[in-house]
Chains A and B, each alone.
Chain A
Amino acid sequence: MDSAALLQFAIAGLKNGAIYALVALGFTLVFGSTGIINFAQGEFFMLGGMLAVFFVRLGLPLPIAVIAGVLATAGIGLAFERLALRPRRDSGPLVLIIITIGGSMVMKSLSRHVFGGSELSLPAFSEGPSIVVAGAAIERQAFWVWGLTIIAVVGLTWLYSKTKFGRSMRACSLSHEASRLMGIDTARIVMVSFGLAAVLGGIAGVVVAPLTQTSFDVGARIGVKGFAAAILGGLGNPIAAVVGGLTLGLVESMSIAFISSTYKDVIALVLLLLVLFVRPEGILGRATREKV
Chain B
Amino acid sequence: MRWTRRRLGITLLGVMGIAIAAVPFLTDDRYLLKVLTFVGVNAIVVAGLALLFGYAGQISLGHAAFFGLGAYMSAYLTTTHQTPWLLAVLAGTGIAAAGGLLLALPSLRLKGHYLAMATLGFNEIMSVLFVELRGITGGNNGLSGIPFPSIGSFVIDTPAGIYLLVWGVAALAFLGAANLVRTRPGRAMRALHGSELGAVASGVDTTRLKVQVFALSAALAGLAGALYAHAVGFISPTQFSLEFSILLVAMVVVGGTGSLVGPFFAAVVLTLLQYVHALIPGLGNDVASVIQDWEVDISGMVMILTVIFLPGGFAALVRRKRIGVAVDGETV
Contact = CB atoms under 8 A, between A and B. Distances in A.
A221 B118 contact: no
Interface in B247-287: 249-250, 253
A102 B113 contact: no
Interface string A249-292: 00000000000001101101100110011001000000000101
B155 interface: no
A37 interface: yes
Interface residues of A, number: 44
A113 interface: yes
Contact of A91 (B253, B293, B301, B311): B311
Contacts of A268: 121
B330 A99 contact: no
A292 B198 CA distance: 9
Interface stretch (B104-112, B141-149, B178-186): B104-112
A224 interface: yes
Nearest to B304: A102
Chain B contact-residue range equals: 35 or more
A110 B121 contact: no
A87 B310 CA distance: 12
B300 A109 contact: yes
Contacts of A108: 296
Contacts of B121: 224, 227-228, 268-269, 272-273
Interface class of chain B by DSSP = helix
Contact of A101 (B59, B105, B114): B59
Given A263-B132, A269-B122, A101 B246 contact: yes
A37 B109 contact: no
B97 interface: no
Contact of A102 (B117, B125, B300): B300
Nearest to B123: A220
B162 to A, nearest CB: 31
Given A109-B296, A269-B124, A292 B201 contact: yes
Interface string A79-92: 00000100110011
Contacts of A36: 113
Interface class of chain A by DSSP = helix
B89 interface: no
B197 interface: yes
B308 A88 contact: yes
A88 B296 CA distance: 23
A20 interface: no
B131 to A, nearest CB: 9
B242 A220 contact: yes
Given A37-B117, A102-B250, A220-B242, A292 B112 contact: no
A96 B114 CA distance: 14
Nearest to A278: B106
A94 B330 contact: yes
Contacts of B109: 276-277, 280
B75 interface: no
Contact of A109 (B111, B112, B253, B297): B297
A265 to B, nearest CB: 6
B128 A265 contact: yes
B125 A269 contact: yes
Given A276-B107, A292-B197, A292-B201, A88 B307 contact: yes
A105 B300 contact: yes
A98 B303 CA distance: 8
B308 A97 contact: no
Contact of B297 (A101, A113, A272): A113
Which of A35, A223, A231, A269 has the most chain B CB atoms inside 10 A of its CB? A269
A280 B197 contact: no
Contact of B308 (A84, A93, A101, A227): A84
Contacts of B114: 37, 231, 276, 280
Nearest to A92: B330
A105 B308 contact: no
A223 B128 contact: no
Which of B61, B125, B253 has the most chain A CB atoms inside 10 A of its CB? B125
A81 to B, nearest CB: 13
Contacts of B110: 276, 280
Interface string B181-204: 000000000000000010011000
B107 A273 contact: yes
A39 interface: yes
Contact of A95 (B106, B293, B296, B307): B307
Contact of A106 (B105, B197, B304, B307): B304
B98 to A, nearest CB: 15
B113 A37 contact: yes
A121 B300 CA distance: 28
Contacts of A103: 300, 304
Interface in A98-144: 98-99, 101-103, 105-106, 108-110, 113
Q: Which 3 A-B pairs have the closest CB atoms?
A: A105-B300, A102-B304, A269-B121
18 contacts: A37-B112, A88-B311, A97-B116, A98-B303, A98-B307, A106-B300, A106-B301, A106-B304, A220-B120, A224-B117, A227-B117, A263-B132, A265-B124, A272-B121, A273-B103, A273-B107, A273-B118, A292-B201
Given A224-B124, A276-B106, 9 more contacts: A98-B307, A99-B307, A113-B294, A223-B120, A224-B121, A228-B121, A265-B124, A280-B110, A292-B201
Interface of A: 35-37, 39, 84, 87-88, 91-95, 97-99, 101-103, 105-106, 108-110, 113, 220-221, 223-224, 227-228, 231, 262-263, 265-266, 268-269, 272-273, 276-277, 280, 290, 292
